[in-house]
């Protein structure tokens, strides 16, 4: 017993988890989530690119605001995409990641929509500015569509997850003693 021979026959070494290429996985982005995240990043990037092509502006405040919001939206969408694809997802936990994603995408969608409206109002109407505004609106709608979809999806899960006896009522059969004493 002292040499541990008793345990050698029945104890198996713990298997190491398989290594992922570059530590990346797409298992947390199943269904509609992966195309939505990719679409958000692409539309935000296109808004940034077209905004950077604008050569001159009359009222530059709207352009600068749109530039800040579109660049921030692109970087934030990439950051959240990286969180979903790496081990950070397991580190933080599904609930926290979902909550941060919901509120971040809500804020980005609202600010992107506001920035697009401000840019439309202050732009001179060139083709490049119109293209940047169009991609800004499309990106803001993509962010807000994910928020709305996630809201209805979580609401549906809450409705389906309720038990038939939600409260601890005393008349329920589960709460009655097994041996009734008369």
pLDDT digits (tens, 9 = 90+) for 86-136: 888 888 888 898 899 899 999 999 999 999 999 999 988 889 999 999 999
Q: Supply 50's token pair.
A: 């077209």
pLDDT at 163: 45
The reply to whether 90 falls in a domain is yes
Q: Is residue 25 part of a domain?
A: no
**Gap between the Cα atoms of 45 and 66, Å rounded:** 12
Which residues span the domain enclosing 42?
33-52+60-151
At residue 37, does pLDDT exceed 80?
yes
- Whether the pLDDT of residue 12 is over 80: the answer is no
Q: Does some domain include residue 19? A: no
In a domain, 11, yes or no: no
Asked whether residue 1 is domain-assigned, the answer is no
Query: Residue 23 — left, alpha, or beta (φ > 0 → left; ψ -120 to 50 → alpha)?
Result: left
Q: Is residue 7 part of a domain?
A: no
pLDDT range class, residue 159, cuts 50, 70, 90:
confident
Count of structural domains, the chain = 1
Does residue 175 form part of some domain? no
The residue to which tokens 């692409």 are assigned: 42
Report the predicted TM-score, pTM, of the whole model to 2 decimal places: 0.70
- Please check whether residue 144 lies inside any domain of the structure: yes
pLDDT at position 164: 47
């Amino acid at each position: 017993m002292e040499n541990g021979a008793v345990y050698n026959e029945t104890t198996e070494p713990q298997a190491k988890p398989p290594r992922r290429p570059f530590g990346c996985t797409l298992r947390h982005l199943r269904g509609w989530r992966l195309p939505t995240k990719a679409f958000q990043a692409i539309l935000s990037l296109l808004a940034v690119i077209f905004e950077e092509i604008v050569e001159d502006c009359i009222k530059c405040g709207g352009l600068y605001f749109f530039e800040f919001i579109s660049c921030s939206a692109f970087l934030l969408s990439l950051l959240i995409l990286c969180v979903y694809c790496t081990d950070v997802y397991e580190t933080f936990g599904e609930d926290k990641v979902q909550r941060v994603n919901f509120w971040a995408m809500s804020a980005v969608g609202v600010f992107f929509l506001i920035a697009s409206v401000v840019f439309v109002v202050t732009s001179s109407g060139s083709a490049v500015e119109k293209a940047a505004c169009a991609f800004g609106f499309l990106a803001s709608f993509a962010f807000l569509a994910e928020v709305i979809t996630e809201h209805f999806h979580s609401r549906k899960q809450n409705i389906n997850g309720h038990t038939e006896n939600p409260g601890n009522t005393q008349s329920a059969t589960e709460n009655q003693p097994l041996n009734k004493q008369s």
